[in-house]
Structure 1
Amino acid sequence: MANSKMNDLQAFLAVAQQQSFTKAAAGLRVTPSALSHTIRNLEEKLGVRLLTRTTRNVSLTEAGVRLFESVAPLLEQIDAELDALAELRDKPKGTLRISCTDDQIELHLRPMLSTFLQNYPDIKLELYVDYGFTNVVEARFDAGIRLGEDISKDMIAVRIGPDWRLVVVGSPAYFARQPKPATPYELTEHSCINIRHRVAGAIYAWEFEKQGRAFTVKVEGQLVFNSIMHVLNAALDGIGLAYVPEPLAAPYLADGRLKAVITDWSPYFQGFHLYYPNRRQASPAFMAFVEAIRYRDNRDK
């Protein structure tokens, strides 16, 4: 009986998280019809409707939200405790799911991946590119990566890189057609490559600072991406000006394929941090990953 209840709850949580019987069934390795039958049985046992079904969507009822918010953290804690048993193994083992952006992968994960995966052959990493500021607890990620200033106080944060800034860059071909801007205010006269972090979110307004005064400039252009890597590539192709992390542009600034302008107006941001819930029971696999990605000022000394 206990096993049956646990399986029913796990089935419900899978549907609630995926908001889809088809996707949840694939993850649980059952048929959608069998999963639907399990949920109906659970609703009958509880005497309340947990899910609202339409032809396209699955959403939680008020009772479903209450059950999800009370049960999900408990099962997460159980999973974490089971993962902690990996301490009995000779080598860390398990799958780690990390929410991050593609520039974070390029700058901080890619340089350590080869060595890390060779050192820990029993660890699997799932890197999910996401600019939408997903709640890592609700989405059941092991951790996420954000700027230090964007991390809530109830999270543990581990710095993985130095402070950095965005820089306005353009290709020599672009500057052959257009004069270089002398101030951020002149950017409105240029073709700029924009980024929108979330589907329903606003286009990012470029942030600047001068003599202690911070301000933003809304630039215009024909291209909008949701990935900074594509913004960078478009700048390399001479399509327009881009506002990109300086470390990401550094190789192209060094070989002349990009030129930086108005850099004295660009403020520094607190470096990227790996963050995770403070109630998380850290497994050996997760702690091995944290130590491998942790930023060390003297790493080259």
Structure 2
Amino acid sequence: MKQNFTVRQGALDGVEAFLSVAQHRSFRRAAAELGVTPSAISQAVRTLEARVGAALFLRTTRSVGLTEAGERFLARARPAFEELVAASGAARELGQRPAGLLRLTVPRSVVPILLEPLVASFCQAFPEIEVELAASEELVDLAAGGFDAGIRMGQFISPDMVAVRLTKALPFVIVGSPTYLAGRGRPQRPDDLRQHACLRLRRSSGALASWSVNDNGRSIEIAVSGPFIANDFPTLVGAAVEGVGLAQVPGPLAADAMRSGKLVPVLEQFVPMTPGVFLYYPGHRQIMPKLRAFIDHVKGRSGGSS
């Protein structure tokens, strides 16, 4: 397919040679500065003049001067070229040391239990890196969203991503408030869940997630019903604390409420395990130092491995 470029291909060729000659008023000294032969500098300038469509230098056997066209070209080319050099230097710097903005997409449930302490220690260790967390339950396209990496439960990560473990495998607990259980009774078998008010999760795809239990090593999906639906686990935990119904959530999210007695685990022998939480990023992308620093920090803090 034909490409349409704002700047013609090769339009910058010869500009550095022109600027050096203009500065030194000498093809020989420009050649020495750039480490090439005078004839190479002369050829580069002639090619540039042909492309521009005007003579840029007045040449005599004793001196080199700028034409009016050369003066105008110099006035605009010099600051533009200096900006290009500066831009290259800035990009190179980010490619060589941990610095800049690190953007991560994460589910809201992960922030308080994992990322808050991890990000705090990372920011202290790498003060030149700014960390931006975009909390969303949606599985966003990292490249389209401008994210360096994402964090998700392992079962939701595409197999073409490189994954770095942040946590061990997590239990997917079923919990209810003492008030709810006093009124409805404790379920004794997974089938009993069909008679309970079960709080449900709506996935980013729009589908309602079924509940999962482990019956002697056999994974069973149960279609439950209940009066409340949310699109994130922390909201389900809050509703369960208020006695709205039973909730199935990652264990760490309900840990504080269980320790304080606000929630009680049920069907403990049937609780399934999830793969855990992972940092993920595209495998084909060059890893910038800021992301590499975060990955190494994660591994150092969690003992995780890719």
TM-score by length of 1: 0.67
Residues 1-301 of structure 1 aligned to structure 2 (within 5 Å): 85-89=93-97, 92-198=98-204, 200-294=205-299
> Is the contact made by 2:166 and 2:302 (CA closer than 8 Å) also made in structure 1?
no
CA pair 279-167 structure 1, distance change in 2 beyond 3 A: same
Paired residue type of 2:143: V
Q: Deviations over 1:64-105 (max 9, x none)?
A: xxxxxxxxxxxxxxx9x975632545xx21112212111122
* Distance change in 2, residues 1:190/1:5 (3 Å): farther
Percent identity for Structure 1 against Structure 2: 34
Q: Is the partner of 1:114 in helix, strand or coil?
A: helix
Going from structure 1 to structure 2, the CA distance change for 1:83 and 1:263 (only over 3 Å counts) comes to farther
CA contact (8 A) 2:177 2:243 kept: yes
With 232-241 and 147-156 compared, the bigger mean Cα shift is at 147-156
Return the offset for 1:2.
5.3
Q: Kindly tell me: are residues 263 and 273 of structure 1, through their superposed partners in 2, closer, same or farther at Cα, counting changes over 3 Å?
A: same
- Which secondary structure state, in structure 1, belongs to the residue aligned with residue 105 of structure 2? strand
Larger radius of gyration: 2
Once residues 237 and 5 of structure 1 are traced to their aligned partners in structure 2, the CA distance between those partners, rounded to angstroms, is: 65
Answer yes or no: is the 8 Å Cα contact 2:151–2:280 preserved in 1: yes
* Structure 1 residues without counterparts, runs of 5 or longer: 7-78
Gap change, CA 1:88 and 1:273, over 3 Å in 2: closer
Preserved contact between residue 96 and residue 289 of structure 2 (Cα < 8 Å): no
CA distances 1:240-298 after superposition (whole Å, capped 9, x unpaired): 11111111111221221110000111111112111111122212211121122237666
- Check the 8 A contact 1:97/1:125 in 2, yes or no: yes
Residues matched between the structures, number: 223
**Counterparts of 1:173 and 1:261, CA distance in 2:** 14
Taking structure 1 as reference, are residues 4 and 281 closer, same or farther at Cα in structure 2, changes over 3 Å only? Answer: same
The amino acid of 2:217's aligned partner reads G
**What's the Cα RMSD here?**
2.7
Match in the other structure for 1:65: none
